[in-house]
Structure 1
Amino acid sequence: MLNIDLKELLLKIAHDNDLAAFQKIYFLYYERLLKLACSFVKQTEVAEEIVDDVFVKIWANRTKLNEVNNLTVYLYVAIKNQAFNYNQVNRIICVDIESVGFELKDISNSVEDVLITAELAKVINDAVQRLPEQCKMVFKLVKEDRLKYRNVAEILNISPKTVEYHMGNALKTIAAAISDLPGHHKRGFKKASAN
């Protein structure tokens, strides 16, 4: 991750109370964690508070950071838990993911291709919005955040097979939506592989 040795930073924070190392981790993860929190609570201001609260708790418990094996999973689980706590207190049930990133490959820059790409992106996003909530979250974590299936399973407290099942359903739904496009041969859509 940007040639930064996370284990070394965690040790500096845990043993030396190194605020500069803590700030590096904060800035390295902030945007991704904010997106994740927004997908749970749908309010940017609340999501910012959740991310900041998680980092405050991490700083308060920094002596235990040397026990963390996978910082990304640790932070994602902390964000998920904090967001769920917020939603429970405020009785917010639904999760809405407004934007999911997709990789479109081998598309030239002709006007026709740009229009096809925009239409394809809209169809894909509409299909993703219709997915069941947990399936949508799995798809977001795998495709947008590029997490491995086992990490997504750990974050969402489900089995890797369940992650695989949700990804399969998501990809089938998206493929069906794409196949409905007139004259479209599914070019450019990169299928996720089990990792």
Structure 2
Amino acid sequence: MYRLILYSVDYKNLTDNNLWDGCKKGDLRAYNELFNRYAPQLYDFGMRYLKDEERSQEIGIDIFLDIWQRRGEITIEKDISSYIFKAMHFRCIDYLRKKQMVYVDVEMMKDDNRFSAESTDYPMRYREANDSYQLALNTLHPKCRRVFQLSREENLSYNQIANQLEISRHTVERHISTALKRMRLFYHDYLTFLIAALLTGL
């Protein structure tokens, strides 16, 4: 009489290579262990670039989902951890490039009389900047304008906007990209001033 012996595998004690081999074979427990092992570090790594916890987590989750979905296609040259962090690096850079973020040295602007509320032409410059902003908004397609306002004025994440408007995240990103390009045409000389005013709460 033969007896079937089952061996319990402690995934926490497996090496990264063992876990990756398991992932390629469709082992969800191996995949979950990789996720638990590296996800927190990956989020922290993304924060160095984005300074945005929610965005870092979103990108990190996307990377792990992509790894699982493409586990049969991905070629790991060194080790899975290097692949994961390299993917995070490039996705963060790509995110910042697409978003076309504008960095402003607020402290420097506070010392610049042109941006001071005590400046004699401040009210006029602020009104002109705000008028340019409103004009740019009004030239956008209504759906594009709504997406942009939800993102920039109500601080909703891309996923929250997608859920609220019942559209895809890709559509949200496309609208934001379109809006930013249009804004630059209208801000021109007033862009830096407007951002400084908004960030300093003037």
Structure holding more helix per residue: 2
Instruction: Give the structure-1-normalised TM-score.
Output: 0.44
Instruction: Give the structure-2-normalised TM-score.
Output: 0.42
* Larger gyration radius, structure 1 or structure 2: 2
